Amino acid sequence: MPRFPLLAGPTPYEAAPHLAAALGLGRLHVKREDLSGAALGGNKIRSIELILGAARAAGADTVLTTAASQSNFCRALAGCAARAGMGCRLLLRRAGGMEETGNLLLMRLFGAEIAWTDATDPWDPAITAELDAMADAVRAEGGVPFVVQLPGETAALAASAWALAAEELVEDFDRAGSAPDLLALACGSGLTLAGLALGFAELGLPVRLLGVSVQQPVSRLRPWVEEVVGRTAALLGWDAAGAMDRVTITDDRIAPGYAKPSPDGLDALRLAARTEGLALDPSYTAKAMAGLAGAVGGLVPRRGAAAFLHSGGTPTLFQQAAALR
Ligand SMILES: Cc1ncc(COP(=O)(O)O)c(C=O)c1O
């Protein structure tokens, strides 16, 4: 697959003994994908390596995408596009707030052109139509657009990066002495979870995956993740059979809503900060850590071994300063 290199190397896999003890775990490791380097990092950088690889292979000079106004993905794409010498146009959902702080501030700083939509649901077909019109505008100006639709056509490509990352995690587990019983991660579009589920199945890794939804109900997310597993397997020429068997998805940490901090999420955020000096973000990783805390004694035994994917999102920590105070 064509790849535009952005990661400097494998991301760290760090022991977090104080947080493990506070959660009642025997062992906890944190996969530091927040340190994935480019454009302030996060779990989308691996996917963007393949997205920009595909865009360049298609002869594109401008990438376009759409998400919420504080999207980590849009921030990362804007920064990585700058690094690739490409233009970036973003269609952002106004409902997420228009104040230029956090990721939105960074999108501007990275030089992205920003347009606004009134649609509130990422799956609203109106958004696709608006994005297509923006791509037409690039063509009319003589450019070559590449449209990135994470909940659509680009899903399998983005998830492939995480299927391929499973090999890196096997090396992490080997160095740590053994694989964890459970790996917990935040789930937005579910592409990271889908990729990992496929990659773990391909490598025969007996690790349960806990996807903590921060946006969608399980009834919508699980069939979608399953569909992406199938599409990604087809793209990679792998076998999707059994990939969902070790996947658990919960939606009990979403309240009070997407990108809105929750009391138990903020407790988890404070705990990680004070036990390990680890900065989580209120929208994704704090809720995922709360989900992991709730899984101890259930999906992972007390004194058992767990891993946590720190998927980034740090800019929203500052954007949500008022809630934290
Ligand atoms: C910080 C952070 N963590 C987790 C996720 C969820 O990843 P995915 O969309 O692959 O489910 C996102 C998605 O935007 C994110 O920004």
312 lines ligand 1 (CB under 6 A): yes
Evaluate whether residue 307 is within a structural domain. yes
**Enclosing domain of residue 128:** 44-148
Pairing relationship of beta strands 145-148 and 62-68 according to DSSP bridges: parallel
Pairing relationship of beta strands 145-148 and 27-32 according to DSSP bridges: unpaired
Q: Which one of 148, 166, 189 terminates a domain?
A: 148
281 lines ligand 1 (CB under 6 A): yes
Expressed in angstroms and rounded, the spacing between residue 311 Cα and the centre of ligand 1 is: 6
Tell me: do 304 and 158 sit in the same domain: yes
Question: Residue 124: what pLDDT?
Answer: 87
191 lines ligand 1 (CB under 6 A): yes
In order along the chain (325 residues), what is the average pLDDT of each group of 10 residues? 95 98 98 95 98 98 96 98 98 91 97 96 89 97 96 93 98 97 97 98 97 97 98 97 97 95 97 98 98 98 98 94 88
192 lines ligand 1 (CB under 6 A): yes
Evaluate whether residue 8 is within a structural domain. no
**Token duo for residue 276:** 């390990």
Evaluate whether residue 7 is within a structural domain. no
Evaluate whether residue 3 is within a structural domain. no
186 lines ligand 1 (CB under 6 A): yes
Tell me: do 59 and 38 sit in the same domain: no
Tell me: do 254 and 282 sit in the same domain: yes
Question: Residue 269: what pLDDT?
Answer: 97
Ligand 1 atom with minimal separation from the 186 CA? 4
Evaluate whether residue 4 is within a structural domain. no
Expressed in angstroms and rounded, the spacing between residue 18 Cα and the centre of ligand 1 is: 25
Adjacent-strand bridge partners of 310? 32
Q: Which one of 117, 148, 179 terminates a domain?
A: 148
Angstrom CA distances, 85 to 81, 88, 144, stand at: 6, 10, 13
Question: Residue 123: what pLDDT?
Answer: 80
Expressed in angstroms and rounded, the spacing between residue 188 Cα and the centre of ligand 1 is: 5
Tell me: do 270 and 160 sit in the same domain: yes
Expressed in angstroms and rounded, the spacing between residue 185 Cα and the centre of ligand 1 is: 9
Tell me: do 243 and 196 sit in the same domain: yes
Which residue shows structure tokens 């299927």?
163
CATH at 99: 3.40.50.1100
pTM value is 0.97
Identity at 19, one-letter amino acid code:
L
Ligand 1 atom with minimal separation from the 188 CA? 11
